[in-house]
């Protein structure tokens, strides 16, 4: 069923496309044999080549400036331009690709020069990531994990006052489809007095929202909460792969290190903040008795429209399932409404000490589990720390990931009267340790 306000495109595959309709237009970096990596826009099963569009003189004014910034081998310069440039490019693209576009015949005549088939293209990281911070704003995940280690005190006192995060490793972030090699590390076996070294036996995934930073801030100048949302360029899916046995041994007293830094996967398309406007909503109210955030983290407008309603899905595909011709098995369905802190609160807190954020920096939300087991965003939670195996249609069980397992993350926004918007996929397949 077509939404009442869904604009149709002359790119036929965009109409009714579950992810990349005219309402979305996410940006990314792609290449084909013989072409250098360059900026493009997903529309249906095609990629609009921004460099080709510029060469054809399809943009002017602010939209042209934005297209030029987005047409290179990374989106950092585009992110730096901020919201007005993003809006100008979005409006220009929607006008060009609309079914009633006055330039339709000319654009169609450009063929694959303008619209590359997505299936023939390789997708790359959308930006050069200077810094990566992983937050912990999924309160149900924090509670579930806390119960495993501190049954009587699952949430530490600071959780409801501070958007907790840690500085991650930007150099090991890779785009969807890149293999994930099982890490080696130190672990302490139950009952052992000394650690041993070897491949992680408790490899896990984490279902997260990725947040791309747009305009940065000068060092020493905090971003006010009321302005923090405008510093976000867009969103993606993020899988923060975790070696739980390494993590358990190393995390005290300073938190995650080698258990997280070996691999992080992100989806290739940046869904802009503007595309997600119809799916903004009020932040779910805090439970009665929870403290009100400190003034630098409180903005009434952010509370009324700073949350996002995005459905998040995790699927698992094993080697045995491939051999049996089975489809990937959904193992979790959650939502970004499980975030205890808004994205704006994360940005404001990150910068309040004067920390300088830069275009292309990446935030992870932390694992976004729901309240029920079918919405848990990690195997650590789904299997109760390995005590309750997950049963698969192939007859296999899983407590943690095995070599050959592939995790697939998906996300979709739905609202009555509006076309759905999807994020594409974030895939990663586990390879044996070196």
150 is known to lie in a ligand binding site:
yes
What whole-number distance in Å separates Cα of residue 424 and Cα of residue 28? Answer: 12
372 is known to lie in a ligand binding site:
no
Let me know: does 198 contact 238? Beta carbons within 8 Å: no
- Nearest alpha carbon to residue 92 among 59, 115, 61: 59
What whole-number distance in Å separates Cα of residue 369 and Cα of residue 72? Answer: 36
208 is known to lie in a ligand binding site:
yes
367 is known to lie in a ligand binding site:
yes
CA angle 140, 279, 311 (to 5 degrees): 45
What whole-number distance in Å separates Cα of residue 184 and Cα of residue 197? Answer: 7
Active-site residue list: 141
296 is known to lie in a ligand binding site:
no
12 is known to lie in a ligand binding site:
no
Angle at which helices 61-70 and 83-97 pack, to 10 degrees? 100
What whole-number distance in Å separates Cα of residue 363 and Cα of residue 266? Answer: 11
- Nearest alpha carbon to residue 368 among 336, 343, 332: 336
418 is known to lie in a ligand binding site:
no
381 is known to lie in a ligand binding site:
no
Element (H, E) at 277: none
| DSSP string for residues in 168-188 | --GGGEEETT--EEPPEEEE-
What whole-number distance in Å separates Cα of residue 370 and Cα of residue 332? Answer: 9
In this structure, the strands spanning 406-415 and 180-181 are: unpaired
CA 203 to chain centre: 20
| Sheet hosting strand 38-43, strand order edge to edge | 115-117, 46-49, 38-43, 27-31, 122-124
* Token pair recorded at residue 375: 């919405």
- Nearest alpha carbon to residue 308 among 269, 331, 332, 274: 274
First to last CA, the chain: 50
Q: Tell the burial category of 367 from Cβ atoms under 10 Å away from its Cβ (0-12, 13-18, 19+).
A: buried
Query: How many Cβ atoms are within 10 Å of 61's Cβ, its own excluded?
Result: 9
Q: Print burial letters for 369-402: b (CB count within 10 Å at least 16), e (below 16).
A: bbeeeebbbbbbbbbbbbeeeeebebebebbbbb
260 is known to lie in a ligand binding site:
yes
What whole-number distance in Å separates Cα of residue 239 and Cα of residue 407? Answer: 9
134 is known to lie in a ligand binding site:
yes
251 is known to lie in a ligand binding site:
yes
Binding site per annotation, positions for substrate: 136, 150, 247, 251, 367
Binding site per annotation, positions: 134, 136, 150, 206, 208, 240, 247, 251, 260, 264, 367
Binding site per annotation, positions for Mg(2+): 240, 260, 264
Binding site per annotation, positions for Ca(2+): 134, 206, 208, 240
């Amino acid at each position: 069923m077509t939404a009442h306000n869904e604009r149709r495109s002359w790119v036929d595959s965009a109409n009714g496309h579950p992810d990349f309709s005219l309402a979305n237009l996410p940006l990314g970096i792609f290449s084909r044999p013989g072409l250098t990596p360059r900026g493009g826009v997903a529309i249906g099963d095609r990629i609009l080549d921004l460099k080709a569009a510029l060469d054809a003189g399809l943009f002017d004014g602010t939209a042209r400036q934005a297209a030029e910034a987005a047409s290179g081998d990374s989106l950092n310069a585009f992110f730096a331009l901020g919201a007005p440039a993003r809006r100008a490019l979005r409006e220009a693209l929607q006008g060009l690709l609309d079914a009633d576009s006055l330039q339709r015949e000319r654009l169609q005549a450009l063929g694959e020069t303008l619209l590359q088939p997505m299936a023939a293209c390789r997708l790359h990281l959308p930006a050069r990531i200077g810094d990566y911070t992983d937050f912990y704003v999924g309160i149900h995940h924090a509670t579930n994990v806390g119960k495993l280690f501190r049954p009587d005190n699952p949430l530490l006192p600071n959780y409801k006052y501070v958007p907790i995060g840690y500085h991650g490793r930007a150099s090991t972030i890779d785009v969807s489809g890149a293999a994930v090699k099982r890490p080696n590390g130190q672990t302490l076996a139950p009952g052992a007095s000394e650690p041993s070294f070897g491949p992680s036996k408790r490899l896990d995934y984490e279902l997260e929202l990725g947040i791309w930073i747009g305009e940065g801030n000068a060092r020493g100048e905090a971003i006010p909460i009321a302005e923090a949302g405008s510093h976000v360029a867009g969103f993606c899916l993020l899988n923060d792969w975790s070696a739980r046995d390494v993590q358990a041994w190393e995390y005290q007293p300073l938190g995650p290190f080698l258990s997280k830094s070996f691999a992080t996967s992100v989806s290739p398309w940046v869904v802009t903040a503007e595309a997600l406007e119809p799916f903004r909503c009020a932040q779910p109210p805090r439970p009665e008795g929870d403290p009100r955030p400190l003034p630098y983290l409180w903005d009434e407008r952010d509370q009324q429209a700073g949350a996002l309603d995005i459905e998040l899905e995790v699927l698992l595909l094993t080697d045995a399932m491939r051999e049996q011709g089975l489809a990937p098995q959904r193992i979790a369905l959650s939502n970004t409404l499980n975030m205890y802190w808004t994205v704006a609160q994360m940005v404001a807190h990150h910068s309040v000490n004067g920390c300088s954020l830069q275009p292309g920096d990446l935030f992870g939300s932390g694992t976004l589990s729901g309240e029920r087991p079918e919405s848990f965003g990690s195997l650590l939670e789904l299997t109760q720390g390995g005590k309750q195996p997950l049963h698969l249609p192939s007859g296999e069980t899983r407590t943690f990931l095995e070599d050959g397992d592939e995790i697939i993350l998906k996300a979709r926004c739905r609202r009555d009267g509006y076309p759905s918007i999807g994020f594409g996929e974030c895939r990663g397949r586990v390879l044996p340790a070196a």
